[in-house]
Amino acid sequence: MKRTLLLTLALIALLVTPAFAEDAIKLGFNIPLTGDIPDVGESAKNSAELLKKKINDAGGVEVGGKKYMLEFVYEDNESKAESALSAARKLITQDEVLGMVGPQSSKQAVPAGEAANDLETPMISPWSTNPATTKDRPYVFRGCFLDTFQGPTAAKFASEEFGAKKAAVLYDIASDYPKGLAEDFKAAFEKINGPGSVVAFETFTTKDVDFSAQLTNILKSGADVLFTPQYYNEVPLIVKQAKSMGWNKPILGSDSWGGGDLMGLCGDDCKGYNFVTHYAAAGAKGATKEFIDEYSKTYGKTPDDVAALTWDSTNLMLQAIKNVKLTGDVAADRAAIKDALASIKDFPGITGGMSFTPEGDPIKCAVVVKIDDEGKFSFYKSVCPN
């Protein structure tokens, strides 16, 4: 008798648990909390926590007349491609998330995107600009522009603003993002200034700290501008060494400069340089300003582009979830969310309006910022796709 009672109780408990779980929407975050670029992971997590608190305090997300609380699972990908893959698999199969946000950099987003697509789970990478991330993957989206747009933007800016006829490029050949962007920049610059106008195309390998041999070649080449699409932990070393070897011409960066604590590591040496990015925090208006104020109040620092893009990407995912009818069957819901994401038009993001192309890439504008004397990234120029 007693045993039957226990068994019944256990059965009821088993039946009830999924019903409880149904009231929560579970999203996974595949982000670099340790490794080479931990500040990027921290920004993403801060931004996600802020959004979760805001929505949960208001009673949750309303989908089909029912309120759901948000549940975010953070998985560290250590800024490594193989860890991003296992983190993606764990989030999808073990945690059974409805959708995945991240990974941030292309090195991790390209392999993780493949896993997400194979396991038929919608993924949106906030910060990965390499075209391969979303290419031929219906389940994979991104929250930012592409390198095929960023490269030409940087090349055009260098030619027009600096009057550069010859350019040098220094990049990490072992990482997807710098490699792809360096090649896009080279192609675009040579299209404007003729073949051979990229006079030095120098490479290094992740974790290198000494660039003296490459910089010697760059100085010898007589280039007018140095383009270096590297992350915030490498840029200070490159900039400082270039200066100590006598480089006094402009250095142009890419959106990776904005993620993480660039100014804390670089100090005065980086002031006065320009880089292409997603948004400028200084002088923002409307919803963007609201987000910046709230973020700065909570964490005591200005949100970088990673924080802003994670905010937008998570909101995009939630918007898609709002547009579907949740059935409780994870596989069916994931497929429905994917279709909903693909059909989003003119989403009002804080980094600009977004509509997805059939490839899962948003059409949006790029911003060129200048690092001013106070070390702030101030708006310099906006470039939109035509």
How many residues in the shown chain lie near other proteins by CB under 8 A? Answer: 37
Pick from 204, 275, 291, 347 the residue near other proteins by CB under 8 A. 204
Nearest to other proteins of 53, 207 (CB atom): 207
DSSP per-residue string spanning 216-280: HHHHHHT-SEEE----TTTHHHHHHHHHHTT--S-EEE-GGGTSS-HHHHHGGGGTT-EEEES--
Closer Cβ to other proteins, 156 or 271, answer by number: 271
Alpha-carbon span 47 to 306, nearest angstrom: 9
Is residue 207 part of the contact set for other proteins (CB under 8 A)? yes
Complex with other proteins: residue 56 or 206, whichever CB lies closer: 206
Select from 236, 259, 349, 360 the one that contacts other proteins (CB under 8 A).
Answer: 236
Closest listed residue to residue 121, CA positions, set 345, 320, 349, 315: 320
Kindly tell me which of 58 and 213 has the beta carbon lying closer to other proteins: 213
DSSP code per residue over 163-210: --SSEEEEEETTSHHHHHHHHHHHHHHHHHH-TT-EEEEEEE-TT---
Closer by beta carbon to other proteins, 120 or else 261: 261
Q: Which DSSP string corresponds to 35-51?
A: SS-HHHHHHHHHHHHHH
Give yes or no for residue 289 binding other proteins (CB under 8 A): no
Residue 264: CB minimum distance to other proteins, A: 6
In angstroms, the CA 350 to CA 157 distance is 24
**Residue 310: CA atoms inside 13 Å, Cβ hemisphere, count?**
33
**283, 363, 199, 260: which is closest to 37 by C-alpha?**
260
Distances (CA, A) of 335 to 78, 90, 279, 354: 29, 19, 31, 21
Rule CB under 8 A: say whether 245 interacts with other proteins.
yes
Pick the binder of other proteins from 18, 196, 246, 286 (CB under 8 A): 246
Q: Looking at 143-151, 237-245, 317-325, 336-344, which segment touches other proteins (CB under 8 A)? A: 237-245
By CB under 8 A, residue 265 contacts other proteins? yes
Task: Point out which span in 10-18, 82-90, 136-144, 196-204 binds other proteins (CB under 8 A).
Answer: 196-204
Which x/- pattern over 313-352 shows residues binding other proteins (rule: CB under 8 A)? ----------------------------------------
- Using rule CB under 8 A, residue 212 touches other proteins: yes
Q: How far apart are CA 330 and CA 360, in angstroms?
A: 21
374 token code pair: 């106070």
Q: Is 216 in the site for other proteins (CB under 8 A)?
A: yes
**Lookup: tokens for 218:** 């760059």
Q: Which of 62, 118, 210, 372 binds other proteins (CB under 8 A)?
A: 210
User: What are the residues facing 172 on neighbouring strands?
Assistant: 204
Q: CB-wise, 139 or 211, nearer to other proteins?
A: 211
Cβ neighbors of 214 (< 8 A, separation 6 or more) are 170, 202, 203, 204
Distance CA 45, CA 206 (A): 25
Q: Does 264 bind other proteins (CB under 8 A)?
A: yes
Cα distance between residue 145 and residue 365, in whole Å: 8
Task: Please say which residue, 299 or 379, places its beta carbon nearer to other proteins.
Answer: 299
> Which of 11, 12, 16, 213 is in the footprint of other proteins by CB under 8 A?
213
Which one, 100 or 238, has the nearer CB to other proteins? 238
Q: Which is nearer to other proteins, 145 or 377 (CB)?
A: 377
Touching other proteins, residues 2-41 (CB under 8 A): 33-36, 38-39
**Alpha-carbon gap, residue 274 to 276, rounded angstroms:** 7
Is residue 255 near other proteins by the rule CB under 8 A? no
Q: How far is the CB of 272 from other proteins (least distance, A)?
A: 17
Determine which residue in the list 95, 120, 261, 359 makes contact with other proteins, applying CB under 8 A: 261
Of 166, 240, 249, 271, the residue at the interface with other proteins (CB under 8 A) is: 240
Q: Which parts of this chain interact with other proteins (CB under 8 A)? A: 33-36, 38-39, 42, 173-174, 202-205, 207-210, 212-214, 216-217, 219-220, 233, 236-237, 240, 243-246, 261, 264-267
